[in-house]
Structure 1
Amino acid sequence: MTVILVYVDDLVLAGDDIEEINHIKQYLHDLFKIKELGEFTYFLGMEISRGLRGVAICQRKYCLDLLKDYGMLNAKSISTSINYSTHLSKNSSTILASTSEYRKLIRRLLYQTNTRPELCYAVAKLSQFLDCATDKHFEAALQILRYLRGAPALGLFFSANTDLLPSGFSDSNWGACPDSQRSIIGYCFYLGTSIISWKSKKQDTVVTSSCEVAKVHTRRVAGGSREIDNNLLR
């Protein structure tokens, strides 16, 4: 099997047969005159390193550039990406005169979640206020930067010494959004010990009990990940 990942005019080839990969590279070169850049180490802000233990993916340079742009390279780091005791809403404090900088920061943080699953809840929460951002929302976004300051090179690790058994975990709360009274759902799926899929999202409908939240959440998680056996949801 050979997989080709395409982004505009950049291609990444991966597979389980090096001879087949070389054959495809030659075929593509004959058609388009491609330039081979060698082993995959950096792509779209993501840094990839290989070893006997497995493959590690992070966005260290992207993270450091983000911290530099917002003057947070020397900021004091914190242990959590968001203050869970504070319930942000559309009416939190004073609305910003311009939301362009807030939108830009959230957009860059969204890309950071490609290798930092633990940021999904905080970034998804702040993404709800793009059209009505306040100074409290911007402060919460800067708190994420302070969290990243503590470990800019943290990322994903795909172990070479693990089984390929899939497993999944899901959770939800009840009416956590103060503006819509909707619940927040979240899930993550693993292949062995390596996380391969994750998400945090506000539900589309309002439910009347925590039991109903669990039923709706489990059904949607299972339906959105059909390759994962429903019995593996824990």
Structure 2
Amino acid sequence: MELKSYLLSVGFLNSIADTFLFILRRGASCVYMLVYVDDILITGNDNRLLQQTLDALAQRFSVKDPENLHYFLGIEARRTSKGLHLNQKKYIQDLLARTDMLHAKPVTTPMAASPKLSLHTGTRLSDPTEYRTVLGSLQYLAFTRPDLSYAVNRLSQYMHAPTTDHWLAVKRLLRYLAGTSTHGIFLQTGNSVTLHAYSDADWGGDRDDYVSTNGYLVYLGSHPLSWSSKKQKGVVRSSTEAEYRSVANTASEVQWICSLLGELGIKLSLPPVIYCDNVGAIYLCANLVFHSRMKHIALDYHFIRNLVQSGALRVVHVSTHDQLADVLTKPLSRAAFYNCSSKIGVSRSPSS
């Protein structure tokens, strides 16, 4: 609060979309400051204004000498002439060493496509502490690895009663990490300023409770910005309803990103687009008449119709083969996983 009060007093504005973000504008010049407890990232388009801000900050608070971004909250940032690569290699290596999996034989997918896990497969672990500890570490890894999101989400659902089969699935995920420790997100220079997303749902995919899983990937140009793999609330009655709810959740995330980009001064040249592979859900987004079989859907999911009707958002059909969000909703075969993971933006660390 002391830092916030100071920043507001010298002209910074606190972002509404992200309370950790502070923005300073001086004509065409701007400075962005991202604060997490006592760790601070600061950047801008005017080196003089940036240095003045750093000097003023050092006079008011005890701060370390500023240095180029290379490591922040467990995320490594590596600059090349082509852009910025974000990965968690050191974090992964530490996790593998802690679980004695550093020299494990790698596998090509994070989770086996079959047989599917359930609450009752395997024998109950006598001490679930290690399972829960490792899963907690894996949840943090999903910040730079959308290819891990589904497996981590799925395995986290067994935290309360993990079994031997669940533990084997965790070890398989660690083996996948052993072969992909340098993978991460590459933010390329010269990226286009267009926003689009892929939305998908695995209807009734959980054989324990038949609840569907939502998945979305949001891109700014070619860069993945946000992703999620999460179970829906309650059982739905059709694949169209499951997909429609997933599109609505994706639209909510897209609207939040639009608000954040607006505060950063970034204007989108075209309305955002959401790609969905369910024709029924697409028709439902644009249809002004409530179909009798859809009256039970909560009104908060229908806000997407207003966005579509006002032209603020487009929902477009994409073939199932090109549905990148598949990687967030169900375990895939080796070929299907490779097809998705090679396109979603997860890549090895490039050479300098």
TM range (shorter): over 0.9
Find the partner of 2:212 among 183, 190, 205.
183
Whichever residue aligns with residue 230 of structure 1, its letter is L
1:232 Cα deviation (Å)? 5.7
In the TM superposition, 1:168-179 aligns within 5 A as: 168-179=197-208
Query: More deviation in 97-106 or 219-228?
Result: 219-228
Alpha-carbon distance in 1 for matches of 2:50, 2:168: 48
Whichever residue aligns with residue 116 of structure 2, its letter is H
Alpha-carbon distance in 1 for matches of 2:145, 2:114: 22
Q: Which residue does the alignment assign to 1:122? A: 151
Alpha-carbon distance in 2 for matches of 1:233, 1:149: 37
Q: Which residue does the alignment assign to 1:94? A: 123
Alpha-carbon distance in 1 for matches of 2:111, 2:86: 24
Whichever residue aligns with residue 60 of structure 1, its letter is K
Q: Which residue does the alignment assign to 1:105? A: 134
Aligned-partner SS, 1:55: strand
> Does 2:313 correspond to 1:230?
yes
Alpha-carbon distance in 2 for matches of 1:178, 1:18: 56
Task: Go from structure 1 to structure 2 and tell me whether the alpha carbon gap of 1:45 and 1:233 turns closer, same or farther (over 3 Å shift).
Answer: farther
> Does 2:92 correspond to 1:9?
no
Aligned residue pairs, count:
234
Alpha-carbon distance in 2 for matches of 1:121, 1:52: 32
1:216 Cα deviation (Å)? 1.3
Q: Is the 8 A contact 2:199 2:216 kept in 1?
A: yes
Find the partner of 1:151 among 168, 180, 184.
180
Flag the structure with larger Rg. 2
Find the partner of 1:49 among 41, 62, 78.
78
1:7 Cα deviation (Å)? 2.3
Q: Which residue does the alignment assign to 2:191? A: 162
Aligned-partner SS, 2:224: strand
1:19 Cα deviation (Å)? 1.9
Deviation by residue 1:137-181 (Cα, 9 ceiling, x = unmatched): 111111111001112110000010221111111111110112221
Whichever residue aligns with residue 313 of structure 2, its letter is N
Query: More deviation in 3-12 or 134-143?
Result: 3-12
Q: Which residue does the alignment assign to 1:71? A: 100
Alpha-carbon distance in 1 for matches of 2:247, 2:195: 16
Q: Is the 8 A contact 1:167 1:232 kept in 2?
A: no
Aligned-partner SS, 1:23: helix
1:86 Cα deviation (Å)? 2.1
Aligned-partner SS, 1:158: strand
Query: More deviation in 16-25 or 148-157?
Result: 16-25
1:17 Cα deviation (Å)? 2.1
Alpha-carbon distance in 2 for matches of 1:11, 1:232: 37
Identity of aligned residues (%): 35
Find the partner of 2:224 among 188, 195, 204.
195
Q: Which residue does the alignment assign to 2:110? A: 81
Alpha-carbon distance in 1 for matches of 2:174, 2:316: 32
Q: Which residue does the alignment assign to 2:68? A: 39
Alpha-carbon distance in 2 for matches of 1:90, 1:230: 39
> Does 2:161 correspond to 1:132?
yes
Aligned-partner SS, 2:157: helix
Q: Which runs of 5+ in 2 are unaligned?
A: 1-29, 259-271, 273-311, 318-352
Q: Which runs of 5+ in 1 are unaligned?
A: none
Alpha-carbon distance in 1 for matches of 2:56, 2:242: 51
Q: Is the 8 A contact 1:167 1:233 kept in 2?
A: no
